[in-house]
Amino acid sequence: MIGRRELTSEDVRRLVFKSIRLIEGAQEELDLKICPNIHKTKNKLSKGTFRAERLIEKPGIYQMAFGSFDPPATIVLDMGLPFCDRPLDLPEVPRTMTYYTSIHEVIHADDHFGGDSLLKATLKHILREHWDKLEMGMRVVEEGNNCDCIKSYWELACLWAIQYIDILTHYRSLVILRHHGFPKLDVVWEHMQNDYFPPGLITKIERVKDTRYIFEKIIEKAGEYCIIDALFESEKIGDKRAKSYTV
């Protein structure tokens, strides 16, 4: 592993192609469509650009600003990732977080090289099936005086679709690293749960329905599910558990 030094652009290149091998291995051994375009992605990224930059001024566990994928084929990782456990001293955490971030950006690249079909289908689903929720959401936006960033139902639907795709990207990253037995993954995952739509929504469903259900009934059913459906399904699971404790 890289150790306690800042990442270089060459480190980023090596991490990306190691991440691709980890994805390929998990996908084959688990028989899941984690990155259905991975061969195309590998080919495209073989001609890509990789950079290590200072993306976060103050290192600390979890910020997905630790990395970015910029079309057509650029992946950037924060050069300070090897110090992301500061002020603690948990040397296994930076290694896991570094691969988590690299895999996360490769998955975004894979979605892009697949035509962003899941994102586009999710957006259509939200506009078609959840107009009432968009109306409620726009009222909240307008009452909160946040109209500068969201000015229409379409923009709000785009935001929800992007958030949903990112949750699924987090989940797929988790599945890959969990399969390969990366240490302290629970620490990394716990720090992913501080968003309004935490990726733990999906693992809550997974614990009841199993991993294959998430892939075959949610991820592969593009255009039939979104972040709103995930919230409802997660809430139902919570309600059933609460009732089971009171019986």
Q: What pLDDT score was predicted for residue 221?
A: 87
Does some domain include residue 75? yes
Q: Give the distance, in angstroms, between the CA of residue 58 and the centroid of all CA atoms in the same chain.
A: 22
Q: Which helix or strand (DSSP H or E) is residue 88 part of? A: none
Helices 227-246/153-179 angle, 10° precision: 60
Tokens of 157: 């639907």
Question: With contact defined as beta carbons under 8 Å apart, do 84 and 66 qualify?
Answer: yes
Does some domain include residue 186? yes
For the chain (length 247 residues), average pLDDT per consecutive 10? 85 98 98 97 98 74 73 95 86 93 97 96 96 92 73 93 94 98 93 78 93 93 92 81 41
Q: What pLDDT score was predicted for residue 129?
A: 95
What residues are paired with 49 via a beta bridge? 74
Does some domain include residue 110? yes
Does some domain include residue 2? no
Q: Per the structure, how many domains does the chain have?
A: 1
Q: What pLDDT score was predicted for residue 143?
A: 83
Does some domain include residue 1? no
Domain range holding 125?
A: 9-246
Torsion (CA) 76, 77, 80, 82 in degrees, nearest 10: -150
pTM of the model as a whole: 0.90
Does some domain include residue 4? no
Does some domain include residue 142? yes
Q: What pLDDT score was predicted for residue 64?
A: 55
Question: With contact defined as beta carbons under 8 Å apart, do 48 and 75 qualify?
Answer: yes
Alpha helices per DSSP H over 144-224: 153-179, 185-190, 200-209, 211-213
Does some domain include residue 214? yes
